Structure 1
Amino acid sequence: MAEDCLFCAIVDGDAPASVVDETDDLLAFMDLNPITEGHALVIPKEHAAGLTPLDPEIGGRMFEEAMAVAGAMRDSDLDPDGIDLFLADGEAAGQEVFHVHLHVIPRYEGDGVVLPVGEGPADREELDALAVDLADAL
């Protein structure tokens, strides 16, 4: 566990959380600053500041847990019209707590939440060049 990490403190039981689900590797709990009613987080119990140090198996299980939480949201009294999954990796991406976490955000018609979108299609040649660069990096 990382020193001065709020989510590690939650995992250790040293900070409060409204727990939705817990497995050997993961914890799902309600977000203290919800974007919409029912907003939850899924975190690994083992500290990883972002995606790069995260064990890929744990990352896959985080997504599976987020899917289960989203299904529970749909089956609950929340009755959302949709679900957003969001993960910010790094300060420039908007990450505020540096313990990797996946947001599960119920969405409602007219909730006022606006996600940024691009301004039209990108140039196909530029996209092809970027795809090659990323494929080479893999």
Structure 2
Amino acid sequence: MDCVFCAIVEDRLPALTIHEDSHFLVLLDIYPLRPAHVLIVSREHAPYLHDLSSAARDRLLVLADGICRVMRSAGHGISGINLLLNDGPASNQHVPHLHLHLIPRRKGDVPALLWRILTRFLPLGRKRLQARMEREAQLLRQSLREAFGGV
């Protein structure tokens, strides 16, 4: 079976990409837990963190920090962002390809977050969600250009 993230990296599948560099793509999660839920996806097919090259591992948190700053400047995750890396199938890693979730949070969002965890893979409201995600991607790209001219 083909890896969905490898297909995105190779431009065989579409994604709402907000940034890319030599090691990673930054894109919106297609099943977001919160608005502006971003994934940092390795260009390398690395199922586990220890499979990732040392150069990419060194870049990962630097990039995550820059993207978190951009998300906050765009109004997402001002009071908190979860950084989540599921490392292996027992950790709930659905796609065996290294990716770091950046999930913007706000005070009091736990009930909505839990509901989204339970319903995220259902096809309810996909058109409305897609339109929202396209707006979020544009806002994050613009914030990235304004803040860093790229990260």
TM range (shorter): 0.7 to 0.9
Higher RCO, Cα 8 Å, sep 6+ = 2
2:8 matches 1:10: yes
- Total equivalences in the alignment: 112
Distance 1:54 1:25 in 2: 10
CA contact (8 A) 2:24 2:42 kept: yes
- CA offsets 1:49-108 (integer angstroms, 9 cap, x no match): 111211122012121111111100100033532111010011111100000111111111
1:55 aligned partner: 53
Gaps of 5+ in 1: 115-138
2:18 matches 1:36: no
Distance 1:73 1:51 in 2: 24
Distance 2:9 2:81 in 1: 25
2:7 aligned counterpart, secondary structure: helix
1:56-71 maps to which residues of 2 (within 5 A)? 56-71=54-69
The runs of 4+ residues in structure 1 deviating greater than 3 Å are none
Q: Residue type matched to 2:71 in 1?
A: M
Higher share in helix: 2
Distance 2:76 2:100 in 1: 19
CA contact (8 A) 1:42 1:103 kept: yes
CA contact (8 A) 2:79 2:105 kept: yes
Which of these two proteins has the greater Rg computed from alpha carbons? 1
Relative to structure 2, which stretch is displaced further, 26-35 or 56-65?
56-65
Q: What is the TM-score with the length of structure 1 in the denominator?
A: 0.76
